């Protein structure tokens, strides 16, 4: 009899502890909170998503990469970014500290031995992705980019890519929260 009472008490505590609170939603398939652009049917499903894009082919024998990049005007793009920084149209930021870089720091980067605009080989994108389920349309909103340049070893091989600076782009709209 002594073992039945404690066992019964433990069973009671277990049942009460495993019963969902009346404020909790337990239908996980239909109660997820979804974020949408205001006044829109576009569901925010990646915020942020960060990925690198190779913009300079490091292996000229890799014809597939060359074909994928043949329509990208990398030099024009990079020059436009630098001109916009020097003209004060955009601000460059140190991607480690988040602090704004001065024009003196940008010039120092350009004058360093390891950097050359032609060595820009990757762009890192930070984006929000929205999906309109009704019309089946994916929209990407770029929040920032980082230009990265090749670091070459003593054998002339690419050892790594180093971020030059971060450029914020496009303001991100406020999001509304709705339950679907």
Question: Is 131 part of a structural domain of the chain?
Answer: yes
Gap between the Cα atoms of 67 and 64, Å rounded: 5
pTM: 0.73
Give a yes or no: residue 18 inside a domain: no
Q: For 13-28, give the secondary structure using H, E and C.
A: HHHHHHCCCCCCCCCC
The region of weakest confidence among 5-9, 26-30, 176-180 is 26-30
pLDDT at 11: 45
- Report yes or no on 53 lying in a domain: yes
Residue 69 CA to residue 67 CA, distance in Å, equals 5
pLDDT digits (tens, 9 = 90+) for 33-81: 778 777 778 899 899 999 999 999 999 899 999 999 999 999 999 999 9
Q: Give the model's pLDDT for residue 13.
A: 45
Residue range 127-171, pLDDT digits in tens: 999 999 899 999 999 999 999 999 999 998 999 999 999 999 975
Positive/negative CA dihedral, 38, 43, 44, 49: negative
Question: Distance between CA 58 and CA 32 in Å, rounded?
Answer: 44
How many domains does one find in the chain? 1
pLDDT confidence of residue 32: 60
For residue 170, what are the contacts with CB-CB under 8 A and spacing of at least 6?
A: 141, 142, 143
* Backbone phi and psi for residue 117, each to the nearest 5 degrees, phi listed first: -55, -35
Please report whether residue 1 resides in a domain.
no
Is 20 domain-assigned? no
At residue 10, the pLDDT reads: 44
**Whole-number pLDDT of residue 176:** 52
Domain membership of residue 161 (yes or no) is yes
Q: Which pLDDT score, from 0 to 100, does residue 119 have?
A: 97
Helices 74-86 and 103-111, interaxial angle, to 10°? 140
Report yes or no on 171 lying in a domain: yes
Is residue 65, in this structure, part of any structural domain at all?
yes
Residue 17: its pLDDT value, please?
47
Domain span at residue 95 reads: 25-179
The encoded tokens of residue 150 equal 């090749």
65 contacts 57 by C-beta, under 8 angstroms: yes
Distance CA 93, CA 112 (A): 18
Q: Which stretch of DSSP H or E encloses residue 139?
A: strand 137-152
């Amino acid at each position: 009899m002594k073992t039945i009472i404690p066992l019964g008490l433990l069973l009671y505590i277990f049942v009460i502890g495993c019963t969902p609170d009346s404020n909790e939603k337990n239908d996980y398939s239909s109660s997820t909170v979804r974020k949408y652009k205001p006044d829109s049917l576009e569901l925010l499903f990646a915020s942020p998503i960060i990925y690198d894009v190779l913009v300079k082919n490091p292996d000229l024998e890799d014809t597939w990469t060359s074909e994928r990049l043949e329509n990208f005007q990398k030099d024009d793009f990079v020059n436009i970014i630098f001109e916009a920084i020097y003209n004060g149209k955009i601000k460059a930021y140190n991607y480690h500290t988040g602090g704004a870089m001065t024009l003196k720091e940008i010039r120092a980067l350009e004058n360093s031995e390891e950097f050359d605009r032609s060595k820009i080989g990757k762009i890192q994108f930070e984006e929000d992705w929205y999906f309109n389920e009704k019309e089946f349309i994916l929209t990407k909103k770029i929040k920032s980019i980082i230009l990265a340049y090749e670091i070459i070893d003593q054998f002339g091989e690419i050892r790594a890519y180093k971020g030059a600076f971060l450029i914020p782009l496009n303001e991100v709209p406020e999001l509304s929260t709705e339950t679907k």
